[in-house]
Amino acid sequence: MSVTGPSANITAIERLSELELQKGIIGEASWHHRYKDSCYIYIGGLDKRMTEGDIVIVFSQFGDPIDVYLKRDKKTGASMGYCFLGYRDQRSTILAVDNFNGSSLLGRRIRVDHVLDYKPPVEYEDEVDDDGNKIPKEYVPTGAEGQGIDKFYVTSSEAALRDAYRHKPARQVDPYEGMDQDERWALEFDKSLRKAEATTTEDRERSGSHASHSADRRSDTSRERHRRHESRHRRRNRSRSRS
């Protein structure tokens, strides 16, 4: 399939997939088999507001994207409405083509097709070689959001969403959430019983402590009286012995 063909290719791809499904064609007999060595797909007809992160969110349901190249205007940086996406597992390309081609995304009918020989964008080093020619940089898959494999939240929109979630105040849990009137009454009744039991226990502890203090005071008073009685008795005996 050509990635630059007319939009009629959407219908042609749909017919191929439907025919294989009806006849149970799989393996080497499948039209997908031609692309068994390519993990890239072409996605066209995209809403120009979509970013690399948006595209990955949609297409990651059928595999793990490791590269995405959204074609942008070199001067303005605006999306041109199509991209190339690479999966970690080549089999994910089959699922993406069969399920996404011809589907509606943000009100636009998109085209999803295999790419037989993906040619990555060419970038050059600042230096030139001995002959004065530009030196092409080695191409490295850019990852899900265009900033490297396994890197996330690197686009401005994704970072803003992450920061907003981080600073979101914790939701207060309502203890009555999901309860009907009878269940709420039962919960309140149970709380009142526990409160009453706690109050009774506290009163008992206070009462026991007060009784202990009273007994101690009575014991101290009795001992003081005994000492006074003995003191008077000794004074009387000394007085009698003198006389």
Nearest to 45 by CA among 10, 69, 73: 10
pLDDT of amino acid 238: 63
Query: How far apart, in whole angstroms, are the C-alpha atoms of residue 217 and residue 133?
Result: 107
CB–CB of 121/69 below 8 Å?
yes
Query: How far apart, in whole angstroms, are the C-alpha atoms of residue 36 and residue 205?
Result: 81
Query: How far apart, in whole angstroms, are the C-alpha atoms of residue 67 and residue 84?
Result: 8
pLDDT of amino acid 110: 92
Query: How far apart, in whole angstroms, are the C-alpha atoms of residue 68 and residue 88?
Result: 12
pLDDT of amino acid 221: 65
For residue 72, the cross-strand partners are: 79
pLDDT of amino acid 237: 63
Query: How far apart, in whole angstroms, are the C-alpha atoms of residue 30 and residue 84?
Result: 22
DSSP state for residue 205 in the 8-state scheme: H
Largest Cα–Cα separation, the chain: 144
pLDDT of amino acid 42: 94
Q: Could you read off the pLDDT tens digit of each residue along the chain, which spans 243 residues?
A: 444 454 556 666 656 666 666 656 555 556 667 888 888 999 999 999 888 888 988 999 989 888 888 888 888 888 899 999 989 888 899 889 888 888 899 999 999 998 888 887 777 777 877 888 887 776 665 554 444 444 444 455 555 655 665 666 666 666 667 677 777 777 777 777 777 777 777 767 776 665 555 556 666 666 666 676 666 666 666 666 655
CB–CB of 136/123 below 8 Å?
yes
Query: How far apart, in whole angstroms, are the C-alpha atoms of residue 15 and residue 98?
Result: 10
Angle subtended by helix axes 91-100 and 8-23, to nearest 10: 110
pLDDT of amino acid 200: 73
The 3-state DSSP class for residue 207 equals helix
pLDDT of amino acid 193: 75
DSSP state for residue 73 in the 8-state scheme: -
Query: How far apart, in whole angstroms, are the C-alpha atoms of residue 86 and residue 144?
Result: 9
pLDDT of amino acid 19: 63
Query: How far apart, in whole angstroms, are the C-alpha atoms of residue 135 and residue 130?
Result: 10
DSSP string, 170-222: PPPPPTTTT--HHHHHHHHHHHHHHHHHHHHHHHHHHHHHHHHHHHHHHHHHH
Angle subtended by helix axes 52-59 and 156-166, to nearest 10: 70
In the CATH hierarchy, which fold is given to the domain comprising 8-166?
Answer: Alpha-Beta Plaits (3.30.70)
For residue 44, the cross-strand partners are: 82, 111
pLDDT of amino acid 27: 56
pLDDT of amino acid 148: 44
Angle value at C-alpha 29, between 28 and 35, nearest 5 degrees: 55
